[in-house]
Amino acid sequence: MRIAIIGSGVSGSLAARLLSTQHQVAVFEANAWPGGHANTVDVDLAGETFPVDTGFMVYNERTYPNFCRLLELLKIPSQPSDMSFSVRCDKTGAEYQGGSLDGLFAQRSNSLRPAFWRMLWDIYRFNQRGTQAVASGELKDGRTVGEFLRTCGVGRRFVELYLVPMAAAIWSSSPMAILDFPADFMIGFFANHGLMQLRDRPQWRTIVGGSRNYVTALLQPLQNQVRLATPIAAVARSEHDVIVTPQNGPPERFEQVVFATHADQTLRLLADAAPAEREILKAFPYQPNAAVLHTDTRQLPSRRRAWASWNYRVSQGETRSAAVTYDLSRLQNHDSPTPILLTLNPAEDIDAARVLRTFSYHHPAYSRDSIAAQQRFGQISGQNRTHFCGAYWGYGFHEDGVNSALAVAQHFGIDLDACTAASMKEPSRIVVASP
């Protein structure tokens, strides 16, 4: 069969690789590079080049089993990463870093503040209560995070300086939306990823040379089948075929289509969306996030002891977006002369002379409706010559993107081991469309 795959993030690239072992595929990518959030760029400092990841950065072997299996099949090396987390509050001047005692009390006066000790006690209580609630299944009653917290008796400082910063940083979400997250979804994620235990946490890892290395290896066999800089205008389906129309090209006929784009993008592309498709895809709104790659260390906590890999900043006023600075040098083990930083939604201006690149990313903003829509995957995927994949069908991370691609491949009777199939003999050449 001829199958169109729209989008080349981890979901689209994996679906293309697997389906290409038995079918003829064409991958359409709107960007000038493949990979979606797996976006590695080179930074030149002091005569040396550092490949840094600006979207997908880290994973672990415990909660990313299928992604790890994929890396193993592709023979992609990785290395341990430091996943420390800090909070800087412009409202109160508080700073701490949770990776060590020295970081926790980077602001030495914290040791004398009863409110700080209360926050630490609340973290312990939340971890205990949350672990019990997940294990018992009591959170499946549909309550929100805010409703669950009221049963825990935690204080305001715990919410404002710990839970909201951590969750908003993880999901690149609006801080105001965190308390409305479904409790089973968010606290279940915390428990699954070892975030509510002090010991035996998973070791986070990063791909040597950047995530683009796995994308290149994954797409390597797809001879002339990946079309970059080729945004799609519309997709229309009939009983007999699927018509895919690029914005700058003639319509093309396929027998099946795989949407590996964000839910809202997919809905815009569907010229003939069925009621169920429209209802389900509309349940996944997205949060836009501006990302600035730079070397301005003023975005980090004022005390060096509080510097971490993930540095969340609580600004003076209400914010609609998470303000977090990733130390990419620390995360990816780069011995750079100055930290290479990526700030999501800067809380204050970054020195223009230190700005290297800017990006725009979009992340799913989950709600009760989103979680309910995930359960209806089978109502629309595999129906009407159409298949849907993307990280939004899970927690929104790389393992979820892999799992959604595997679900699509399974519909065609193909599993992950097909990645090793030597079905294509010529080297790959990725095509960039002419403007």
pLDDT tens per residue, range 208-250: 999 999 999 999 999 789 999 999 999 999 999 999 999 999 9
pLDDT tens per residue, range 98-140 = 888 888 888 888 888 898 999 999 999 999 999 999 999 999 8
Which pLDDT does position 428 carry in this prediction?
Answer: 36
pLDDT tens per residue, range 83-92 = 999 999 988 8
The more confident residue out of 78 and 426 is 78
Domains and CATH numbers, the chain: 2-39+210-285+366-432 (3.50.50.60), 79-205+286-364 (3.90.660)
Predicted structure pTM score: 0.91
Looking at the predicted structure, is the pLDDT value of residue 16 above 70? yes
Beta-sheet strand order (sheet of 78-80): 59-60, 204-207, 78-80
Binned at pLDDT 50, 70 and 90, residue 319 comes out as: low
The per-residue pLDDT of the chain, averaged, comes to 91
DSSP string, 323-373: -EEEEHHHHTT---SS--EEEES-SS---GGGEEEEEEEEEE---HHHHHH
| 281 φ, ψ (degrees, to nearest 5) | -70, -30
The more confident residue out of 305 and 435 is 305
Angle between helices 114-136 and 145-152 (to 10 degrees): 110
Q: Are strands 226-228 and 431-432 parallel, antiparallel or unpaired?
A: parallel
Which pLDDT does position 426 carry in this prediction?
Answer: 38
Instruction: Please report, as a single letter, which amino acid is at residue 258.
Output: V
What does the pLDDT average to over 306-323? 85
The more confident residue out of 322 and 434 is 322
Which pLDDT does position 101 carry in this prediction?
Answer: 85
Binned at pLDDT 50, 70 and 90, residue 372 comes out as: very high
Percent above pLDDT 70 for the chain: 96
**Half-sphere exposure (Cβ direction) of 30: Cα atoms closer than 13 Å:** 17
The more confident residue out of 15 and 433 is 15
- Rounded to a whole number, what is the largest CA-CA distance in the chain? 73
